[in-house]
Structure 1
Amino acid sequence: MTLHQTLRSYAQAFPGDPHVQACLAFLEQAERPFDREHASGHFTGSAWLVSGDGERVLLTHHRKLQRWLQLGGHADGDSDLAAVALREAAEESGLQGLTVEPGIFDVDRHWIPERKHEPGHWHYDVRYVVRAGECEGYLVSDESLALAWVPIRDLAYAQDTDESLRRMARKWLVRMSA
């Protein structure tokens, strides 16, 4: 399936989600939506990296943004955002034996503020569930100040964290209870 098809399928499952509508519009209008050089914005792939028991998620204290977030990064021309999410999760965590589940887990469009030589721009972030293997001992990469396994139940209603993390935590809890 193409990204357009999987975004359409996600839009049917989550009607009225403004983030998926923004992603679809951008995908249809942008000439190079997967290239970070695209001045107004670009697609990124992120990992909702869950522990083997499904109770915890691995978060990064992002060095540039100074916030706790899910792992992920730039597509750098790759339109297979599930592969991007898996690659970024492995690079940023040092974990081996990761697997990515098919289908989009969440989407988000968020503004990245201007920094040094980089103008402000939009990230059209497509998120996938990535599962940890047997070993959950991570290594902190240069992109992170720290990594931490966080209980998903705690994250779902924490007021001191990013709204999109809370949304993903709540989605995960609904999925696990089904």
Structure 2
Amino acid sequence: MNREWLRSEIEKYHTPYKEEEKYKGRFLDLLFFDNCFERSLLSGHITASAWVLTSDFNQVALLHHKKLDRWLQPGGHADGDENVKRVALKELQEETGITDVSLIGDSFFDIDIHSIPQRKDVPEHDHYDIRFAFIANKPEQLKKNEESNEVAWIAIDELEQHVGNDTSVLRMKEKTLKL
């Protein structure tokens, strides 16, 4: 997996969600920047995350992010790594302790562009997030790290109580219910 793989996958990605369809062009434009996988591209950069489910698809692993004060799926910056699946797996392991997973499907599960507020000397910018869906083969591996207030298995039917109206997370819930 590299930049060209990602470009190809985004070009052929079909989604019934209008917001994702709009994101495709922005992702493809971003991929022309040499440093799009680096935080040094201050307007926005590629990130990757993991939507991790129990084998029955009834629960998802989420963390309550300290800096953002929100429940989110594990994920983070590519920091130069063009293999976004590897980035998602690295972030998953660092943020939840989960290492034994199986990919659902043969590509990414969802794409999203969301704004990150200004923090210290880093201006507000966009995260162009590539999201992979996984099944946790050993859900008992779940544990919190220092970046989170909490990490937990959240029941899919109770997701709104944790994420409110976060449309991107709720979109992944809808997709999960169709698996």
Letter in 2 for 1:21: G
Match of 1:99 in 2: 102
Query: Does structure 1 residue 65 correspond to structure 2 residue 65?
Result: no
Q: Which of the numbers 139, 143, 159 marks the counterpart of 2:143?
A: 139
Query: Does structure 1 residue 86 correspond to structure 2 residue 89?
Result: yes
Q: Distance in 2 between matches of 1:170 and 1:15?
A: 11
Cα displacement string for residues 104-134 of structure 1 (whole angstroms, at most 9, x for unaligned residues): 1000001111011211111000100122113
Change (3 A) 1:144 1:161: farther
Root-mean-square deviation (CA, aligned residues, Å) is 2.0
Give the Å deviation of 1:158.
Answer: 7.7
Alpha-carbon contact 1:93-1:141 (below 8 Å) kept: yes
Query: Does structure 1 residue 122 correspond to structure 2 residue 126?
Result: yes
Q: Distance in 2 between matches of 1:55 and 1:116?
A: 38
Match of 1:47 in 2: 50
Q: Distance in 2 between matches of 1:100 and 1:85?
A: 11
Structure 1 gaps, min length 5? none
Letter in 1 for 2:36: P
Q: Distance in 2 between matches of 1:152 and 1:42?
A: 29
Alpha-carbon contact 1:90-1:98 (below 8 Å) kept: no
Cα displacement string for residues 128-171 of structure 1 (whole angstroms, at most 9, x for unaligned residues): 01221134241101111101111123327988241111110001
Structure 2 gaps, min length 5? none
Letter in 1 for 2:23: H
Match of 2:152 in 1: 148
Alpha-carbon contact 1:75-1:81 (below 8 Å) kept: yes
Q: Distance in 1 between matches of 2:84 and 2:145?
A: 21
Give the Å deviation of 1:98.
Answer: 2.2
Match of 2:23 in 1: 19
TM-score, structure 2 as length reference? 0.88
Give the Å deviation of 1:92.
Answer: 0.6
Alpha-carbon contact 2:43-2:125 (below 8 Å) kept: yes
Q: Distance in 1 between matches of 2:54 and 2:132?
A: 14
Change (3 A) 1:119 1:25: same
SS at match of 1:73: strand
Change (3 A) 1:21 1:157: farther
Q: Distance in 2 between matches of 1:119 and 1:95?
A: 32
Q: Identical aligned pairs, as a percentage?
A: 39
Q: Distance in 2 between matches of 1:8 and 1:147?
A: 34
Give the Å deviation of 1:96.
Answer: 3.0
After TM superposition, the structure 1 stretch with the greater mean CA deviation from structure 2, 148-157 or 74-83, is 148-157
Equivalent pairs, count = 173
